[in-house]
Amino acid sequence: MRCMVVSVPLLIALLLFPQSAHQSQPAYEPIHRIDSQRKVVALTFDDGPDPKYTPLILETLHKNGVPATFFVLGAQVDRYPKVMQWIKKAGHEIGNHGYHHVDLNKLTEQEIYDEIKRAERSIYRTTGILSQYYRPPGGVMTHDVVNAVQSSGYDLIHWSVDPRDWSLERTASTIANSVKKNVTAGDIVLFHDGGLNQRQTLAALQDLITDLRARGYTFVTVSQLMDESK
């Protein structure tokens, strides 16, 4: 039998300072934005696919040659598989937003994990794509959310610019101006293609794309944005 010899000073250190025996793991933090030397920005869309507004948003993005990342709900994917396939065919990135848009504060770690994996199966079944990124509904971050996301193998993606386009009180100009005033290089912008107020989001999108392009911004997917930090 082989024995490991531990010196007396080291033994004392291990007993008195157990944390020094190994490095603590870094906290698992969501990605809000990245530091970039280039003027890049990622547009993201949550809660789709929607049968009415997602195709219209896809048309605007295509007309302007803008890539985006769509964080989709598994239930919507199952309900509107053709719209989901349009997102893929248009070349946009697909992220996981869970199966239902539920309050994660009310779920257990296992239930959150199941939501993620059920959405994963829906996305893969419809598009053949295994998503790399997960965005929790409402941006909820709890111990259970972090554990479930780590267990499921996803990177957590939040946002750094939120024009609150889901609010019925927000007009297209309010939405666009909110982004224009706050956006910086490396930001992730939160929009929605599913929900209640996407008519205003759609109207704001063309104005915003035109304005940011004139200011020298390039539009990228979340993956492309992450590559900027390497």
Residues annotated catalytic, as ranges: 46, 192
Beta pairing class for 218-220 and 155-156? unpaired
First-to-last CA distance in the chain?
46
DSSP assignment letter at 186: T
Token duo for residue 178: 């909110």
Q: In a 3-state reduction of DSSP, which class is residue 173?
A: helix
The H or E element spanning position 187 is strand 187-192
**C-alpha span between 208 and 28 (Å, rounded):** 33
Q: In a 3-state reduction of DSSP, which class is residue 157?
A: strand
Say if residues 156 and 120 touch (Cβ distance below 8 Å): no
Phi, psi dihedral angles at 51 (to 5 degrees):
-65, -25
Per DSSP, the residues of 88-118 read: HHTT-EEEE--SS---GGGS-HHHHHHHHHH
Residue count of the chain, please give it. 230
**C-alpha span between 211 and 20 (Å, rounded):** 52
